Structure 1
Amino acid sequence: MKGFADRISTVEEYYFSAKLREVNQLIADGKPIINLGIGSPDLAPDRKVTEALKNTADNQQSHGYQTYIGIPELRASIAHYYAESYGVRLNPAKEILPMMGSKEAIMHLSMTFLNPGDQVLIPDPGYPTYASVTKLVGAEAIYYSLDLAKKGRPNLEELENSDLSKVKIMWINYPHMPTGAPGSREILTELVAFAKKHDIVLLHDNPYSHILTKEPISILSIPGANEVAMELNSLSKTFNMPGWRVGMLLGRADWISEVLKVKSNMDSGMFLGIQKGAIAALNLGESWFSDLEHVYQSRRKLVWKLADKLNLSYSTTDSGLFVWCKVPEGKTADQLVDELLYDKNIFITPGKIFGSQGEGYVRFSLCMPEFKILEAINRIKI
């Protein structure tokens, strides 16, 4: 054995991949763990979605290889969804590429745009996959901070004073994960201008736009964004379909065609039944989103109560699927996470896994039934 590829030494196993093994072992040992750590929706998709899957699976003609670009009906449904939800008009044939989840698409995009030595602007705190994939393709991660008091606005003044000559792409994410910073049209407009000025590809990861938000926003609705920006979206959070692995990439036709060169060499298209289920989800209409909003509002209020009992501070104006909390003076986030896990059988996520600016914070997920959150509250003695 002559050893593994050098790129393996640049990354560690994904935190939740490793940590959930420990949590699952505690459960196997009989511990009544309440998992408020991971953002995997516990709710089911709409019945129309699962019925579309079942009906397709029962057809013996449905099980062959599918096209790399998704069936026309799926791309048309994505275009309709974007027009209705965000006011964005897209060409279904050229400006939409269905993906097997947005996490995989981060790799496809990085392989499309980045050469070894290129630099990538990544939010700190931020989704760890941006940095790990950047390192896997031999590029360099450059971290930028966010002003959480200003809806997660990047510190553009600081970036303007740095050398951006090697920066190829910039990852942005609103509503932001893990902090819930909602972003705004004004912030996205600033970012489009920044990307144009410095010849940077702006990549907006947008899976939380229908979770506890007043107005879903796509960067593609910002004037001029179609010149410099692409957007990732997903059915995982919005439609309770994380295991289905349905995502989408949207933007410039010429850039989409380049990403397709990578994608077509890495997968063979998603199962037809999954595509049919995705079509059903995308056409559910406004009532689906309002019902989801009600569920997560109720859960978030309970998580706030849990945070209050733990003397944590948080914002009540954030969006998305998580509650981001600052740990009080005199205690570290690691201490709190371990105390809750080993003494109270409650699992939450330490903020440091999302970057250096996450030190001193913890994250709660809203992917747990209300009665479980109430049970977690009752386990905390004042």
Structure 2
Amino acid sequence: MPDFKLAQRIAELPPYLFAEIDRVKKQVAARGVDIISLGIGDPDLPTPGFIVDALYEAAKNPANHRYPDYEGLPAFRQAVTRWYAERFGVTDLDEAREVVSLIGSKEGIAHFPLAFTDPGDLNLVCSPNYPVYPIATRFAGGEVAFVPLTEANGFLPDLDAIDAATWERAKSIYLNYPNNPTAATADAAFFEKLIARCRETNTIIVHDAAYTELYYDDAKKPPSILQFPGAKDVAIEFHSLSKTYNMTGWRIGMAVGNASLVAGLGKVKTNVDSGIFQAVQQAGIAAMRDGEPHVAGFRDIYRERRDAVVGALRKAGIECPLPEATVYVWAKVPQGRSSAEFVSEVLERTGVVLTPGNGFGAAGEGYFRISLTVPTARLEEAVSRIAAL
């Protein structure tokens, strides 16, 4: 048999976090254990029916069966600009130059370094982090420097702690708020300071904003970075319909912002994919136009789940901040165990699947993540099993 060796960039990859969790979960389930999976952030709530209906109607149109535009239907990109204007007050977006459709935001984030990162370039990654940020940089031959997010600093990067030489060398800085996995949010003062610093140092801001609509206080709606003066000089923002409208399997999102950054990403996409199925784009248009009442209902459900989990964890003596956004709870591992040890013990002894904090980078050590993506009763059962250890 021939021995086909993996490319070095693949061979050096650690096991993908959720794939490894899934492997262990199957082993435990094979023993007959009742599994409660709180690992991956995949909403259990169904996609609203009107979005499904829009897909059905669009799929019946033969015109939608052909290759789509690489950049996205003009109508979809116009819908994105309308949504940004209504939700964030960003009224100056040019849908032809400053918006590109994505086959899910993960695809766009993974491809972005291919457009702007040369071998040896340095990208900053705020960590704990979504694993795709550093992996995509390394695939492009770039180097990664992790900027720690600490609880003492509200899980925001300390921009002043990054030395001048690093800022001068940094090609990009990757961050996301509301944050996965910590559930932290960022305010206007932080974004304004970040924009000013990156304009001074000619550093690209890559902002992953997938969770802005899953907030719990109407008075504290998470902002888009594009709301702030100067952002379009240096920033590209990635957004997704996945978490907002429970469309994770539909693979549809968008990148918005600086025209040169959007164009660079678009050039990569024209060489590696053929765009989103047009019927899915039509459904996405319907979602952005009419989905807010449904999203408000989702927020109510997640708020109930959040309150139940946080209350039960604290009662069990496990420390965790109260999330203001996302579908996650970020909690401290009980003393004396590492993140991996604790999560492994919980899975083996109780059948509850958690995500170890160190799976999001070394800065996540000492924490674990719970996804609020099962019904409240199952969440309460899961925490009761954890508390009984």
What is the TM-score of this pair, normalised by structure 2?
0.93
* Number of residue-to-residue matches in the alignment: 382
Deviation at residue 154 of structure 1 after TM alignment: 1.1
Deviation at residue 270 of structure 1 after TM alignment: 1.0
Deviation at residue 273 of structure 1 after TM alignment: 1.5
Superposed CA deviations along residues 151-172 of structure 1, whole A, max 9, x for unmatched, are 4331112103543333101001
In 2, distance between residues paired with 1:192 and 1:243?
A: 33
Task: Please tell me whether the aligned partners of residues 148 and 181 of structure 1 are also in contact (alpha carbons under 8 angstroms).
Answer: no
Matched, 1:69 2:75: no
Deviation at residue 119 of structure 1 after TM alignment: 0.4
Partner SS for 2:135: helix
Amino acid at match of 2:285: I
In 2, distance between residues paired with 1:358 and 1:5?
A: 29
Matched, 1:368 2:370: no
In 2, distance between residues paired with 1:168 and 1:180?
A: 26
Name whichever of 151-160 and 37-46 sits farther off: 151-160
In 2, distance between residues paired with 1:165 and 1:254?
A: 20
Matched, 1:195 2:201: no
Match 2:132 to one of 109, 125, 129:
129
Match 1:356 to one of 351, 356, 362:
362
Amino acid at match of 2:42: S
Name whichever of 149-158 and 188-197 sits farther off: 149-158
Match 1:381 to one of 355, 378, 388:
388
In 2, distance between residues paired with 1:375 and 1:249?
A: 39
- Flag structure 2 segments of 5+ consecutive residues without an equivalent: none
User: Residue in 2 aligned with 1:146?
Assistant: 149
Q: Give every structure 1 segment of 4 or more consecutive aligned residues whose post-TM-superposition deviation is greater than 6 Å.
A: none
Superposed CA deviations along residues 4-49 of structure 1, whole A, max 9, x for unmatched, are 3222233223110232133234335532100011101111111110
Matched, 1:342 2:348: yes
- Flag structure 1 segments of 5+ consecutive residues without an equivalent: none
Deviation at residue 355 of structure 1 after TM alignment: 1.1
Partner SS for 2:58: helix
Name whichever of 302-311 and 86-95 sits farther off: 302-311
Task: Please tell me whether the aligned partners of residues 151 and 184 of structure 1 are also in contact (alpha carbons under 8 angstroms).
Answer: no
Match 1:79 to one of 68, 78, 81:
81
User: Residue in 2 aligned with 1:41?
Assistant: 43
User: Residue in 1 aligned with 2:238?
Assistant: 232
Deviation at residue 322 of structure 1 after TM alignment: 0.5
User: Residue in 2 aligned with 1:261?
Assistant: 267
Task: Please tell me whether the aligned partners of residues 110 and 134 of structure 1 are also in contact (alpha carbons under 8 angstroms).
Answer: yes
Match 1:248 to one of 254, 266, 284:
254
Name whichever of 142-151 and 214-223 sits farther off: 142-151
In 2, distance between residues paired with 1:285 and 1:2?
A: 48
Aligned ranges 1:1-382 → 2 under 5 Å: 1=3, 3-89=5-91, 90-213=93-216, 214-379=220-385, 380-381=387-388
In 2, distance between residues paired with 1:182 and 1:302?
A: 21
Deviation at residue 265 of structure 1 after TM alignment: 0.7
Task: Please tell me whether the aligned partners of residues 212 and 296 of structure 1 are also in contact (alpha carbons under 8 angstroms).
Answer: no
The 3 A distance-change label for structure 1 pair 331 and 5 is closer
Partner SS for 1:3: coil
Superposed CA deviations along residues 28-73 of structure 1, whole A, max 9, x for unmatched, are 5532100011101111111110001111222334211111011111
In 1, distance between residues paired with 2:108 and 2:338?
A: 35
Deviation at residue 317 of structure 1 after TM alignment: 4.7
In 2, distance between residues paired with 1:175 and 1:101?
A: 18
Task: Please tell me whether the aligned partners of residues 117 and 140 of structure 2 are also in contact (alpha carbons under 8 angstroms).
Answer: yes
Name whichever of 358-367 and 28-37 sits farther off: 28-37
In 1, distance between residues paired with 2:186 and 2:13?
A: 29
Partner SS for 2:290: coil
Amino acid at match of 1:132: I
In 2, distance between residues paired with 1:207 and 1:279?
A: 17
Deviation at residue 2 of structure 1 after TM alignment: 6.4
Task: Please tell me whether the aligned partners of residues 305 and 377 of structure 1 are also in contact (alpha carbons under 8 angstroms).
Answer: no
The 3 A distance-change label for structure 1 pair 330 and 25 is closer
Deviation at residue 333 of structure 1 after TM alignment: 2.3
Deviation at residue 212 of structure 1 after TM alignment: 2.0
Partner SS for 1:98: strand
Name whichever of 17-26 and 275-284 sits farther off: 17-26
Task: Please tell me whether the aligned partners of residues 10 and 135 of structure 1 are also in contact (alpha carbons under 8 angstroms).
Answer: no
In 2, distance between residues paired with 1:177 and 1:228?
A: 23
Partner SS for 1:265: helix
Task: Please tell me whether the aligned partners of residues 322 and 366 of structure 1 are also in contact (alpha carbons under 8 angstroms).
Answer: yes
Name whichever of 187-196 and 298-307 sits farther off: 298-307
Superposed CA deviations along residues 198-228 of structure 1, whole A, max 9, x for unmatched, are 1100111000111125213110111011101
Identity of aligned residues (%): 36
Deviation at residue 332 of structure 1 after TM alignment: 2.7
Task: Please tell me whether the aligned partners of residues 10 and 136 of structure 1 are also in contact (alpha carbons under 8 angstroms).
Answer: no
Partner SS for 1:362: strand
RMSD over aligned Cα, in angstroms?
A: 1.8
Deviation at residue 309 of structure 1 after TM alignment: 4.8
